[in-house]
Amino acid sequence: MTEAGYRKQKTRCAPANQMNNGENPKVHQELSYRILKIILLLMCGLALWGLLSWLFSSIPLRNLQVEGLTRYGEEEVLVTSGLSSVDKLLGVDREAVEQSLTAFYPYIRTARLVYAFPMGYRLVIEEEEAAYYTQIADDYFALSAELKVLEKAQSSRRFAESELRRITLSGIQSAMLGETLSYDGDYLTHLLSEISDSVLADRVTDVIIGDRYHLSVICDDVYTLYLGDIHSIEAKMRLALLMMQDADLPQGYRAEMDVSDLKKTSIRFEGIQDASLSATD
Protein backbone atom coordinates (compact mmCIF):
# COMPACT_ATOMS: atom_id res chain seq x y z
CA MET A 1 0.00 0.00 0.00
CA THR A 2 1.36 3.38 -0.92
CA GLU A 3 1.80 6.11 1.72
CA ALA A 4 -1.02 8.19 0.23
CA GLY A 5 -3.43 5.26 0.40
CA TYR A 6 -2.47 4.51 4.02
CA ARG A 7 -3.18 8.11 5.09
CA LYS A 8 -6.58 8.07 3.37
CA GLN A 9 -7.59 4.85 5.10
CA LYS A 10 -6.46 6.24 8.52
CA THR A 11 -8.59 9.35 8.05
CA ARG A 12 -11.71 7.26 7.32
CA CYS A 13 -11.21 5.12 10.44
CA ALA A 14 -10.66 8.04 12.89
CA PRO A 15 -14.37 9.13 13.32
CA ALA A 16 -15.39 5.51 13.91
CA ASN A 17 -12.75 5.11 16.61
CA GLN A 18 -13.82 8.36 18.34
CA MET A 19 -17.48 7.24 18.47
CA ASN A 20 -16.48 3.87 19.84
CA ASN A 21 -14.49 5.59 22.61
CA GLY A 22 -17.47 7.80 23.72
CA GLU A 23 -15.82 10.99 22.64
CA ASN A 24 -18.53 12.33 20.34
CA PRO A 25 -18.37 16.15 20.60
CA LYS A 26 -22.12 16.51 19.96
CA VAL A 27 -23.03 14.32 22.95
CA HIS A 28 -20.76 16.34 25.26
CA GLN A 29 -22.30 19.54 24.01
CA GLU A 30 -25.90 18.40 24.67
CA LEU A 31 -24.96 17.25 28.18
CA SER A 32 -23.36 20.59 28.96
CA TYR A 33 -26.48 22.42 27.76
CA ARG A 34 -28.71 20.30 30.07
CA ILE A 35 -26.51 20.94 33.11
CA LEU A 36 -26.44 24.66 32.36
CA LYS A 37 -30.23 24.68 31.93
CA ILE A 38 -30.75 22.99 35.30
CA ILE A 39 -28.41 25.45 37.02
CA LEU A 40 -30.24 28.40 35.45
CA LEU A 41 -33.64 27.01 36.52
CA LEU A 42 -32.41 26.55 40.08
CA MET A 43 -31.06 30.08 40.19
CA CYS A 44 -34.33 31.47 38.82
CA GLY A 45 -36.31 29.45 41.40
CA LEU A 46 -34.18 30.75 44.26
CA ALA A 47 -34.51 34.30 42.99
CA LEU A 48 -38.30 33.94 42.69
CA TRP A 49 -38.53 32.44 46.19
CA GLY A 50 -36.51 35.31 47.63
CA LEU A 51 -38.67 37.87 45.83
CA LEU A 52 -41.91 36.30 47.02
CA SER A 53 -40.59 36.04 50.58
CA TRP A 54 -39.70 39.71 50.55
CA LEU A 55 -43.08 40.67 49.11
CA PHE A 56 -45.04 38.60 51.65
CA SER A 57 -42.94 39.79 54.57
CA SER A 58 -43.81 43.37 53.71
CA ILE A 59 -47.60 42.79 53.57
CA PRO A 60 -49.20 44.82 56.37
CA LEU A 61 -51.57 43.27 58.92
CA ARG A 62 -54.82 45.09 58.18
CA ASN A 63 -57.46 43.16 60.10
CA LEU A 64 -57.50 41.35 63.45
CA GLN A 65 -60.70 39.91 64.90
CA VAL A 66 -61.28 38.23 68.27
CA GLU A 67 -64.09 35.67 68.65
CA GLY A 68 -65.47 33.81 71.66
CA LEU A 69 -64.03 36.09 74.33
CA THR A 70 -66.38 37.00 77.21
CA ARG A 71 -64.38 36.99 80.46
CA TYR A 72 -61.41 39.15 79.54
CA GLY A 73 -60.98 42.45 77.71
CA GLU A 74 -60.11 42.22 74.02
CA GLU A 75 -57.42 44.90 74.21
CA GLU A 76 -55.85 43.22 77.25
CA VAL A 77 -55.72 39.85 75.46
CA LEU A 78 -54.13 41.37 72.35
CA VAL A 79 -51.43 43.02 74.46
CA THR A 80 -50.73 39.82 76.40
CA SER A 81 -50.46 37.75 73.22
CA GLY A 82 -48.20 40.33 71.55
CA LEU A 83 -50.62 40.80 68.65
CA SER A 84 -51.16 44.47 69.43
CA SER A 85 -47.58 45.28 68.40
CA VAL A 86 -47.56 43.22 65.17
CA ASP A 87 -47.87 45.23 61.95
CA LYS A 88 -46.83 42.63 59.33
CA LEU A 89 -48.90 39.67 58.20
CA LEU A 90 -45.99 37.24 58.51
CA GLY A 91 -44.74 38.77 61.74
CA VAL A 92 -46.99 36.52 63.83
CA ASP A 93 -45.81 33.44 65.70
CA ARG A 94 -49.08 31.52 65.91
CA GLU A 95 -47.85 28.86 68.32
CA ALA A 96 -46.39 31.43 70.71
CA VAL A 97 -49.64 33.43 70.68
CA GLU A 98 -51.77 30.40 71.46
CA GLN A 99 -49.50 29.13 74.23
CA SER A 100 -49.19 32.52 75.91
CA LEU A 101 -52.96 32.98 76.16
CA THR A 102 -53.76 29.51 77.52
CA ALA A 103 -50.93 29.81 80.04
CA PHE A 104 -51.83 33.32 81.25
CA TYR A 105 -55.65 33.15 81.35
CA PRO A 106 -57.17 30.22 83.30
CA TYR A 107 -60.59 30.56 81.66
CA ILE A 108 -59.14 30.22 78.12
CA ARG A 109 -59.21 26.54 77.15
CA THR A 110 -57.87 26.99 73.60
CA ALA A 111 -56.79 29.89 71.41
CA ARG A 112 -56.44 29.46 67.63
CA LEU A 113 -55.08 32.05 65.22
CA VAL A 114 -56.73 31.54 61.82
CA TYR A 115 -55.78 33.39 58.63
CA ALA A 116 -58.53 35.72 57.42
CA PHE A 117 -58.41 36.72 53.74
CA PRO A 118 -56.96 38.94 52.47
CA MET A 119 -54.66 40.51 55.06
CA GLY A 120 -55.74 39.54 58.56
CA TYR A 121 -56.26 36.95 61.27
CA ARG A 122 -59.10 35.70 63.46
CA LEU A 123 -58.24 34.88 67.06
CA VAL A 124 -60.76 32.17 68.00
CA ILE A 125 -61.11 31.67 71.77
CA GLU A 126 -62.75 28.69 73.49
CA GLU A 127 -63.41 29.34 77.15
CA GLU A 128 -63.69 27.01 80.12
CA GLU A 129 -66.95 26.63 82.03
CA ALA A 130 -66.98 26.51 85.83
CA ALA A 131 -68.64 23.36 87.18
CA TYR A 132 -67.58 23.29 90.86
CA TYR A 133 -66.19 25.45 93.59
CA THR A 134 -64.18 24.52 96.65
CA GLN A 135 -62.59 26.05 99.70
CA ILE A 136 -58.86 25.58 100.20
CA ALA A 137 -57.40 27.22 103.31
CA ASP A 138 -59.14 30.62 103.56
CA ASP A 139 -59.87 31.08 99.85
CA TYR A 140 -62.52 29.83 97.44
CA PHE A 141 -61.81 28.57 93.93
CA ALA A 142 -63.97 27.96 90.86
CA LEU A 143 -63.11 24.71 89.07
CA SER A 144 -63.86 23.30 85.63
CA ALA A 145 -65.36 19.84 85.10
CA GLU A 146 -61.77 18.60 84.69
CA LEU A 147 -60.85 20.33 88.00
CA LYS A 148 -58.78 23.08 86.42
CA VAL A 149 -58.53 26.03 88.84
CA LEU A 150 -60.24 28.93 87.06
CA GLU A 151 -60.79 31.69 89.59
CA LYS A 152 -59.99 32.70 93.16
CA ALA A 153 -62.28 34.61 95.53
CA GLN A 154 -62.42 35.60 99.18
CA SER A 155 -66.07 34.59 99.49
CA SER A 156 -68.15 31.70 98.18
CA ARG A 157 -71.22 33.86 97.65
CA ARG A 158 -70.87 34.49 93.91
CA PHE A 159 -69.99 30.86 93.19
CA ALA A 160 -72.97 29.64 95.20
CA GLU A 161 -75.29 32.10 93.47
CA SER A 162 -74.09 30.73 90.12
CA GLU A 163 -75.36 27.32 91.31
CA LEU A 164 -71.95 25.69 91.08
CA ARG A 165 -71.68 22.38 92.90
CA ARG A 166 -69.48 22.58 95.96
CA ILE A 167 -66.81 19.96 96.62
CA THR A 168 -64.87 19.61 99.84
CA LEU A 169 -61.36 18.19 99.46
CA SER A 170 -59.70 17.43 102.75
CA GLY A 171 -56.49 16.17 101.13
CA ILE A 172 -55.63 19.33 99.17
CA GLN A 173 -53.96 22.18 101.06
CA SER A 174 -53.15 24.70 98.29
CA ALA A 175 -54.03 25.57 94.70
CA MET A 176 -52.76 27.83 91.93
CA LEU A 177 -54.74 29.41 89.12
CA GLY A 178 -54.46 27.42 85.91
CA GLU A 179 -53.38 24.16 87.52
CA THR A 180 -55.49 20.99 87.52
CA LEU A 181 -56.19 19.53 90.94
CA SER A 182 -55.10 15.94 91.44
CA TYR A 183 -56.30 13.65 94.21
CA ASP A 184 -54.68 10.23 94.14
CA GLY A 185 -54.31 10.14 90.35
CA ASP A 186 -57.62 10.20 88.49
CA TYR A 187 -59.61 9.09 91.54
CA LEU A 188 -61.34 12.45 92.03
CA THR A 189 -62.39 12.95 88.41
CA HIS A 190 -63.67 9.37 88.29
CA LEU A 191 -65.72 9.88 91.45
CA LEU A 192 -67.25 13.14 90.24
CA SER A 193 -68.10 11.53 86.93
CA GLU A 194 -69.90 8.69 88.75
CA ILE A 195 -71.92 11.19 90.79
CA SER A 196 -72.73 13.34 87.75
CA ASP A 197 -74.11 10.27 85.95
CA SER A 198 -76.24 9.11 88.88
CA VAL A 199 -80.00 9.46 89.33
CA LEU A 200 -79.49 12.18 91.96
CA ALA A 201 -77.02 14.22 89.89
CA ASP A 202 -79.32 17.25 89.62
CA ARG A 203 -79.99 17.27 93.37
CA VAL A 204 -76.39 17.03 94.60
CA THR A 205 -75.25 20.37 95.99
CA ASP A 206 -72.07 19.32 97.80
CA VAL A 207 -69.55 16.50 97.47
CA ILE A 208 -67.44 15.84 100.58
CA ILE A 209 -64.28 13.75 100.27
CA GLY A 210 -62.68 12.86 103.57
CA ASP A 211 -60.62 10.03 102.11
CA ARG A 212 -61.15 7.09 99.77
CA TYR A 213 -63.41 5.34 102.28
CA HIS A 214 -65.38 8.28 103.67
CA LEU A 215 -67.33 9.89 100.85
CA SER A 216 -70.57 11.77 101.28
CA VAL A 217 -72.83 14.06 99.28
CA ILE A 218 -75.51 16.54 100.23
CA CYS A 219 -78.71 16.64 98.20
CA ASP A 220 -81.10 19.59 98.12
CA ASP A 221 -79.08 21.09 100.99
CA VAL A 222 -81.15 18.79 103.23
CA TYR A 223 -80.10 15.16 102.84
CA THR A 224 -76.58 14.03 103.75
CA LEU A 225 -75.76 10.68 102.13
CA TYR A 226 -72.86 8.63 103.46
CA LEU A 227 -71.50 6.60 100.56
CA GLY A 228 -68.44 4.94 102.07
CA ASP A 229 -66.06 4.14 99.21
CA ILE A 230 -66.36 4.73 95.47
CA HIS A 231 -67.79 1.31 94.63
CA SER A 232 -71.43 0.95 93.50
CA ILE A 233 -72.09 4.71 93.52
CA GLU A 234 -75.06 4.38 91.16
CA ALA A 235 -76.70 1.66 93.27
CA LYS A 236 -76.17 3.65 96.46
CA MET A 237 -77.68 6.77 94.92
CA ARG A 238 -80.71 4.83 93.66
CA LEU A 239 -81.28 3.37 97.10
CA ALA A 240 -80.98 6.82 98.69
CA LEU A 241 -83.58 8.12 96.23
CA LEU A 242 -86.02 5.41 97.31
CA MET A 243 -85.37 6.27 100.95
CA MET A 244 -86.06 9.94 100.27
CA GLN A 245 -89.35 9.08 98.59
CA ASP A 246 -90.44 6.83 101.46
CA ALA A 247 -89.31 9.10 104.27
CA ASP A 248 -91.69 11.80 105.42
CA LEU A 249 -89.20 14.50 106.33
CA PRO A 250 -90.75 17.15 108.60
CA GLN A 251 -90.44 20.73 107.42
CA GLY A 252 -87.28 22.45 108.57
CA TYR A 253 -85.41 19.25 109.49
CA ARG A 254 -82.37 17.67 107.92
CA ALA A 255 -81.74 13.98 107.37
CA GLU A 256 -78.66 11.75 107.31
CA MET A 257 -78.70 8.54 105.27
CA ASP A 258 -76.06 5.85 105.52
CA VAL A 259 -76.00 3.84 102.28
CA SER A 260 -72.36 2.80 102.46
CA ASP A 261 -73.49 -0.81 102.94
CA LEU A 262 -76.26 -1.72 100.53
CA LYS A 263 -77.41 -4.56 102.80
CA LYS A 264 -77.77 -2.41 105.88
CA THR A 265 -78.87 1.19 105.60
CA SER A 266 -80.20 3.75 108.06
CA ILE A 267 -81.77 7.18 108.09
CA ARG A 268 -81.69 9.72 110.90
CA PHE A 269 -83.62 12.94 111.13
CA GLU A 270 -81.71 15.57 113.06
CA GLY A 271 -83.53 16.28 116.32
CA ILE A 272 -85.86 13.30 115.87
CA GLN A 273 -85.47 9.74 117.11
CA ASP A 274 -83.42 7.59 114.72
CA ALA A 275 -85.20 5.24 112.36
CA SER A 276 -83.59 2.19 110.75
CA LEU A 277 -84.25 0.80 107.29
CA SER A 278 -82.89 -2.36 105.74
CA ALA A 279 -82.30 -2.99 102.06
CA THR A 280 -82.86 -6.30 100.36
CA ASP A 281 -79.94 -8.16 98.80
pLDDT tens-digit profile of 155-186? 999 999 988 999 998 878 888 999 998 777 77
% of the chain surpassing 90 pLDDT: 42
The boundaries of the domain holding residue 147 are 130-277
Q: Would you state the pLDDT for residue 240?
A: 94
Whether 265 shows a pLDDT value over 60: the answer reads yes
State the Cα–Cα distance between residues 118 and 35, nearest whole angstrom. Answer: 40
Pick the residue with more confidence: 11 or 237? 237
Whether 26 shows a pLDDT value over 60: the answer reads yes
256 lies in the same domain as 138: yes
Model confidence at 233, in pLDDT bands (50, 70, 90)? very high
Model confidence at 45, in pLDDT bands (50, 70, 90)? confident
69 lies in the same domain as 114: yes
Model confidence at 281, in pLDDT bands (50, 70, 90)? very low
Sign of CA dihedral 37, 39, 40, 45: positive
138 lies in the same domain as 258: yes
Residue 247 lies in a domain: yes
Model confidence at 280, in pLDDT bands (50, 70, 90)? very low
State the Cα–Cα distance between residues 188 and 175, nearest whole angstrom. Answer: 15
Q: Please give the mean pLDDT across all residues of the chain.
A: 82
Q: What is the pLDDT of residues 99-147, one digit of tens each?
A: 999 999 999 999 998 888 877 888 999 999 999 999 998 999 999 988 9
State the Cα–Cα distance between residues 39 and 132, nearest whole angstrom. Answer: 67
Model confidence at 279, in pLDDT bands (50, 70, 90)? very low
Q: Would you state the pLDDT for residue 39?
A: 84
Q: Which of 107, 127, 147 is the last residue of a domain?
A: 127
Q: What is the separation of C-alpha 1 from the centre of its chain, rounded to a whole number of angstroms? A: 97
Model confidence at 53, in pLDDT bands (50, 70, 90)? low
Residue 54 lies in a domain: no
88 lies in the same domain as 180: no
Whether 1 shows a pLDDT value over 70: the answer reads no
Q: Would you state the pLDDT for residue 183?
A: 74
CATH number assigned to the domain comprising residue 89? 3.10.20.310
Q: Confirm if 153 and 161 have CB atoms less than 8 A apart.
A: no
Please state the domain count of the chain.
2
Residue among 183, 216, 189 nearest 200 (CA): 216
Pick the residue with more confidence: 280 or 200? 200
173 lies in the same domain as 209: yes
Q: Would you state the pLDDT for residue 14?
A: 53
Whether 228 shows a pLDDT value over 70: the answer reads yes
Pick the residue with more confidence: 256 or 28? 256
230 DSSP β-pair partners: none
